[in-house]
Amino acid sequence: MKLHNRVLISLAAGAIVGVVGHHFGSPTVTVAFTWMGGYGRIFIRLISMIVIPLVIASMVVGIASLGDLRTLGRIGGKTLALFFLTTLASATIAVPVALLIHPGNRLQSSGAMAMPASPQAGPSAAPPATSLPDAIVDIIPTNLFAAASSGDLFGVIVFTLIFGAAIGSLPPERRDVLVKIFRSINDASMKVIDWTMKLAPTAVFCLIASVIGRFGVDILRGLALFCVTVLAGLLVQLVVVYGLILIAGCRWSPLRFYLAIAEVALMAFSTSSSSATLPVSMKTAEEELSIPTSIAAFVLPLGSTMNKNGSALYKSAAVIFIAQAAGMTLGLPLLTRIIFAATLSAMTTAGVPGSGLVAIVVVLQASGLGALAPVGSVLVAGVDRILDMVRTTVNVVGNMVCLGYVARSEGTGSLPEQRSLRVDFKFETAEKDSSATCQHAIVTENDKQTF
């Protein structure tokens, strides 16, 4: 059985055990839930332990492999800029949606986030209040190792971005040596994640059962409201952000565009994998959008790795949800850190088994909220698979939108109903000796097969 299916079963079983245990509430049950929560926290610590080497190695490999950014040329520059802007927009959209819906309030009233999963969990975990200029200055670390040891993952990410770009600018013989080293570190980190994720079903069972057993079913209602928050944000991304790009940048009808790439969206929804959808995306780009292979072959593979709009929105919404549940006051500096942490994490963190859980821990730590990870990240991971199908669909649709914009800016690409096809054909009459030729028949692309 696949891992996500086992996690879903464990989530359901843990919820049932938690509800029953909460109903009886005997001292023996309370002790059992305490031990179960301890096992779950060990799992979270194993995940957290490998976050920094995983982030550093995966980011260095991804950025350095691009080579000197100046050599990417016109198409590469437009592609990377659009990837960043759309990912940043999606992470930002999550903020007003989550602040409007307040999905964490129900959990806050239940007291779940104040459980002794971490000695620093709860409202006291909020970082000191700082002004926005100071928060921007603090993004740059003065010491990489100090930032890593203190849990300042955002500082580590900024350093790694600069360091990875520097490695990419080195001559190939020097760059390749360093890239191989960091690729090996990345592979080793992913192996540790693979080992750790074998504990995920039992850990999710224990954590969900212990939390619900202690604080009741309000947690499940809060998770349902969190799902509504994420879905609402993804809808805004599809309609507003992508719609504006298609209308203003591509001069295309969003409805006709979405109909043209319907097969891509369905494949992404059913597989929950951008990589598995890539062949269909390539085929659709060439056949339905008339985009040259030279452009599609550059934008789409890069987008499947870097352009994860739906994932950025999900991470940003999840961290705000967890912070609300902990009763924290979300000021502008903290929200800014959350937005940029979610954006950079979505664009640079490699996909690994259990990536939803790992990603939430990464963004929590980068935002200065690592103390909330033991409870919050597992609660979100319980519904991760449900939301994964939708956010992957938004990821892939975003790649196709960006591809359309880049192609149109290069003077190519069109929707099916905007194209015409010139054909030469010959028809014969009933008499063998009579024939005629027409060389200027025009039919629409959609009528080609019938014609």
CATH number at residue 267: 1.10.3860
* Mean pLDDT calculated for residue range 12-34: 79
Which tokens go with 12? 């359901």
Q: Is the pLDDT of residue 245 over 90?
A: yes
- Same domain? For 97 and 144 the reply is yes
Show Cβ contacts of residue 158 under 8 Å, excluding neighbours closer than 6 positions: 139, 140, 141
295 shares a domain with 434: no
At 436 the three-state DSSP class reads strand
Q: Is residue 414 part of a domain?
A: no
pLDDT band at 48 (very low <50, low <70, confident <90, very high): confident
Residue 412 and residue 132: Cα distance in Å, rounded? 43
> In this predicted structure, what is the pLDDT of residue 126?
43
- Tens of pLDDT, residues 60-79: 776 676 555 554 567 778 88
Which residue would you say has higher pLDDT here, 109 or 148? 148
Residues 166 and 269 in one domain: yes
Instruction: Quickly tell me which residue has 């009741």 as its tokens.
Output: 216
My answer on whether 211 and 70 are in the same domain is yes
Work out the percent of the chain whose per-residue pLDDT is above 70. 74
* Residue 224 and residue 285 in one domain: yes
In contact, 291 and 73? CB cutoff 8 Å: no
Residue 194 forms part of a structural domain: yes
Return the DSSP state at 414. -
If pLDDT is split at 50, 70 and 90, which confidence band does 128 have? very low
On whether residue 388 sits in a domain, the answer given is yes
- Same domain flag for 350 and 441: no
What was the pLDDT predicted at 450? 42
Tokens (6 digits) for 330 = 């979300």
Whether residue 280 is found in the same domain as residue 305: yes
Domain count, the chain: 2
Rounded (10°) angle between helices 332-348 and 355-366? 140
Measured in degrees and rounded to the nearest 5, phi and psi for residue 183 equal -65, -40
| Same structural domain, 438 and 339 | no
Q: What is the mean pLDDT of residues 266-291?
A: 79
- Are 354 and 433 part of one and the same domain? no
| Range from 208-217, 242-251, 284-293, 431-440 carrying the lowest mean pLDDT | 431-440
> Could you list the residue range(s) of the whole structural domain that residue 386 is in?
3-409
pLDDT at 89: 94
Asked if residue 159 is part of any domain, the answer here is: yes
Higher pLDDT, 112 or 384: 384
233 and 294 both lie in a single domain: yes
